Structure 1
């Protein structure tokens, strides 16, 4: 999903003034990126702050950041047309189809992803770690494996991290959260009732809530920080591929940003961990 598709998907959730700006972008995206804020505001029939507010609502730092991502989205080449794997496909064809789909999805995220929600999520997680809070990761089904990967990454950094993929355990764990803890939910659809219930419980307890999920989903609206994870793969697909890769990459970006914010403490933990692992290896 490119930036224009995302705007169309979230159009009804925007305010009246923001919708006017969105319609201007959709009508002439190339022209939008070339015009100053005063001209854009005049053409949309709104104030200049409304134009900036539209960009920030989508998760961008401001108009300049939005224009850069819009330009990257428009210049990404011919949109990828999904070619479903077929029974008679050769090994060479399968390699091309599977990898082209993955490459397109990751490239599109790189070109259009708003930095603001990732920075907000990293700040929330860093604060929880710095105050000895807990990090809890939720995922259901395929997303449960992503939650386990996230647990592993933050555990290696010396954080108190735990992943849950069972709905009942998620409700129980959410009930044990406190102010200063952070709940990070990974969900392809963002429509699991158990995840929504657990998120509400965590928020009532004062815990920070972050979701890596589809834009416009109920879960995206329920959390404090939403990191958009949009792609062309239908969320009820039996064997999801690109969604899994996209979620893994987002977790990597998030973990890296948190590690940089924590600084020397993470470096020391990682160095000690590596040393002990090397010493435990079998030597002939």
Structure 2
């Protein structure tokens, strides 16, 4: 059986429905109109519905880099399992669209924040803050959209306290910087799935050299098994495919709580750095007392 992950069969079907031969166009249109049916139909049924011969169906499957009808059906089933939501999204409600969108985003954000509030383990947050404060250097790793954003955001929060922190979202840099870590290094690894291999491997390497390893991740994951301290973070399934994931708010709340605890542990000394930043920004007409510092 061919590797179903190497070729986007849906894109190929759409191409054949527009550019293929008459038989290919008819078969592609039938499959795209009801992928679930096509994933279960026999070669005889599909040929009958399309008005073509069974050998034509076999040639059609092979033109899609499938070994035959069985392989073709297997790959369609995988498409449904992996990306069905994006092929058949829930119909959009046109009435009161603006209010619906606002309420959907707002409701998702509030639900995400509530989940974090109810699940935060403050002793572990305190432990993570203590380890970062004690470290000579902090490296924060993220991979993918939300996790990469979180890595850069944590760097943005903590450098202002005078902590030496660098965010890395490139897999090779994660491995290289992990390889030069030591007992004076704290590594913060962020991954909602916990299966981003560059981060899993970098965390393992850093721990090998004595670094303190903290993971913000799914507690039942490969990354959680590599890190010493786990701050639970998962993004639940969401079938609203047109809306960005609300998981971003969960991660931001964890990071803000962690940054606030870190600042309070460090005490009034952090205010000098904030004062300097405020002063330096005054040259950019950004000296209003209520304006966020550098945001």
SS at match of 2:127: helix
**For the structure 1 residues 107 and 246, does the alpha-carbon distance in structure 2 shift closer, same or farther, using more than 3 Å as the test?**
same
How far apart are the structure 2 equivalents of 1:174 and 1:115? 27
Matched, 1:140 2:147: no
Q: Paired residue for 2:106, among 99, 106, 110?
A: 99
TM-score for the superposition, normalised by structure 2: 0.61
3-state DSSP of counterpart to 2:181: coil
CA distance, structure 2, for counterparts of residue 254 and residue 238 of structure 1: 31
Contact 1:229-1:246 within 8 A present in 2 as well: yes
Q: For 1:5-24, what aligned pairs fall within 5 Å after superposition?
A: none
What is the Cα deviation at residue 85 of structure 1? 6.8
- Whether the aligned pair in 1 keeps the contact of 2:224 and 2:230 (CA below 8 Å) is yes
Q: Is the 8 A contact 2:138 2:165 kept in 1?
A: yes
Shift of 1:86: 4.6
Aligned to 1:196: 200
Unaligned runs of 5+ in 1: 1-83
Q: Deviations over 1:98-119 (max 9, x none)?
A: 2111101211221232212111
1:187 Cα deviation after fit? 0.8
Count of matched residue positions in the alignment of Structure 1 and Structure 2: 194
- Does the aligned pair in 2 maintain the 1:139–1:165 contact within 8 Å? yes
Question: Which residue is equivalent to 1:33?
Answer: none
Distance in 2 (CA, whole Å) between partners of 1:112 and 1:159 is 27
SS in 2 for 1:120: helix
Equivalent pair of 1:233/1:243 in contact (CA under 8 Å): no
Asked whether the 8 Å contact 1:151–1:161 carries over to 2, the reply is yes
Distance 1:197 1:256, change over 3 A: same
Residue 133 of structure 2 is aligned with which of 116, 126, 139?
A: 126
Question: 5 Å matches for 1:8-47?
Answer: none
Mapping 1:82-97, distance limit 5 Å = 86-89=91-94, 90-97=97-104
User: How far apart are residue 231 of structure 1 and its match?
Assistant: 4.1
The whole-number CA distance in structure 2 between the counterparts of 1:88 and 1:249 is 31
Which structure 2 residue ranges, 5 or more long, are not aligned? Answer: 1-88, 288-295
Q: CA deviation at 1:135?
A: 0.9
* Structure whose alpha-carbon radius of gyration is higher: 2
Equivalence for 1:18: none
Q: Which runs of structure 2 are paired with 1:182-261 in the superposition (5 Å)?
A: 182-233=186-237, 240-261=244-265
User: 1:264: Cα distance to partner?
Assistant: 2.2
* Residues 186 and 211, structure 1, Cα contact 8 Å, conserved in 2: yes
Matching residue of 1:108:
115
